[in-house]
Structure 1
Amino acid sequence: EIHLFFSFANKYKIENSHGQKVYYAVEYTNFCTRNCCGAYRPFTMRIFDNVGQEVITLKRPLRCSSCCFPCCLQKIEIQAPPGVPIGFVSQTCHPCLPKFTVQNGNREEVLKIIGPFILCSCGADIDFEITSLDEQTVVGKISKHWSGFVRELLTDTDFFRIQFPLDLEVNMKAVMLGACFLIVSLFLLNLVSAGLSGIILQ
């Protein structure tokens, strides 16, 4: 289980289930891209360990916003160490649900991710279920934690959680982290507001 805390500057603190900081992540993009593309912007996410060494790189290309055409489906590449692809997460075309396919470094399908029909966090967590390829067995989830009405309304901090099987191989855990960042950027953050308020990533 990994916890992610989002700050308005698009920097993330990543903790383990014991509350210990294990990584931090910084999104690299530019002000114009954020304002023009919003949730569909391309980015490079660099994930660092506690001594400042980059250990994972996430690369998301620019894609259009329609999920009705294969060329517009969203995807992200996970590299660990940087420059070495270990997995991919690609959006799957579906008329009603946000769905994704998780692949290993050989582009072999390993897991599926299925989101809810309605993406509303008012009073409850938003859960994206991690399932087997046949979608019959839930093996984990990616969640946006509901932190209460006052905190949701008055603060810029969001809290996300990734849960996956303990026996999942290390590379695939890193890929699931990449999946979380893709889902968060697409569905769980008000990125347009962040861009219009003049926030510049550092």
Structure 2
Amino acid sequence: MMATPMYAVTQKPGMNEVHPATVPSAVPMPPGFVPPQVAMMPVPQRPPGCPPGLEYLTQVDQLLVHQQLELAEVILGWETNNKYIIKNSLGQQVYYAAEETDCCTRQCCGPGRPFVLHIQDNFGQEIITVKRPLRCSCCCCPCCMQELEVQSPPGSPVGYVIQNWHPYLPKFTIQNERGEPVLKIVGPFCACKCCSDVNFEVTSLDEETMVGTISKQWMGLFREAYTDADNFGIKFPQDLDVKIKAVMLGACFLIDFMFFETQN
């Protein structure tokens, strides 16, 4: 069940800030907690045929995904629900994402766990739901590859991310709502690189033309060693179908869990 946003939006005319900032949360905030001010992306006009809430994606060619640092994970090694703030290239908040899994699943299944991610806009409305079923994480089982479903609005699929079997490279296919292949994602041979970003290329179906990238950004030695809170950058053509942009955002979360959500 999605929690009701803890803070209301009070936006002044001509300003793109919240006072205090609205940060929807899957858990109640402690008494007296006041979140920092966050600049919000203005709401663009929704074009015909665009699912509600995806009109933000018509104005961007890049998204920045920041996973929030959880002290319980750093100090105790106790896996908590992941939370992400999604921004545009100007640093304005576009969406907020919160994982929904039970405690037993998080501790027992670790990064291979099934999950539901609820993605809200700045007004607390859920506009994207990302679902990952439980699948075998062993690359030796080509009959049981990872997959992801992206819905917008919740309950209406707009696309899928399907892992393709390959002996040494991480590969995925982005499909539209009809299950038709649209794009490919090809990752590096080794996703563990020190002091540099890790790039997953988004390409045409023949893998000849690069369309965009999903990059895990290097966060510094201390944070990389002691936390699993990661930052990602997603680049795509601005005129790309907003539904496929939403599926690429879902693919970013799948990549995070598969390759960078290490247990402390």
3-state DSSP class of the match of 2:131?
A: strand
Q: Say whether 1:3 aligns with 2:75.
A: no
Query: C-alpha root-mean-square deviation of aligned residues, in Å?
Result: 1.4
3-state DSSP class of the match of 1:72?
A: coil
Match of 1:180 in 2: 252
Q: Is the 8 A contact 2:228 2:261 kept in 1?
A: no
Match of 1:52 in 2: 124
Q: CA deviation at 1:144?
A: 0.8
Matched residue type, 1:158:
D
Match of 2:201 in 1: 129
3-state DSSP class of the match of 1:23?
A: strand
Q: Say whether 1:171 aligns with 2:232.
A: no
Matched residue type, 2:118:
R
Larger fraction in strand: 1
Which blocks of at least 5 consecutive residues in structure 2 are unaligned?
A: 1-61, 71-79
> Quick one: structure 1 residues 152 and 66, their matched pair in 2 at CA, closer, same or farther if it must change by over 3 Å?
closer
What TM-score, normalized to structure 1? 0.90
Match of 1:104 in 2: 176
Number of corresponding residues: 192
What TM-score, normalized to structure 2? 0.70
Which blocks of at least 5 consecutive residues in structure 1 are unaligned?
A: 194-202
Which of 215, 231, 234 lines up with 1:159 in the alignment? 231
Q: Within 5 A, what are the aligned runs for 1:3-42?
A: 3-7=64-68, 8=70, 9=80, 10-42=82-114
Give the Cα–Cα distance (whole angstroms) in 1 for the partners of residues 189 and 142 of structure 2: 21
Match of 1:113 in 2: 185
CA deviation vs aligned residue, 1:99-119 (integer Å, no higher than 9, x gap): 000000011100000110011
Matched residue type, 1:3:
L
> Quick one: structure 1 residues 121 and 84, their matched pair in 2 at CA, closer, same or farther if it must change by over 3 Å?
same
> Quick one: structure 1 residues 183 and 155, their matched pair in 2 at CA, closer, same or farther if it must change by over 3 Å?
closer
3-state DSSP class of the match of 2:143?
A: helix
Larger CA Rg, structure 1 vs 2: 2
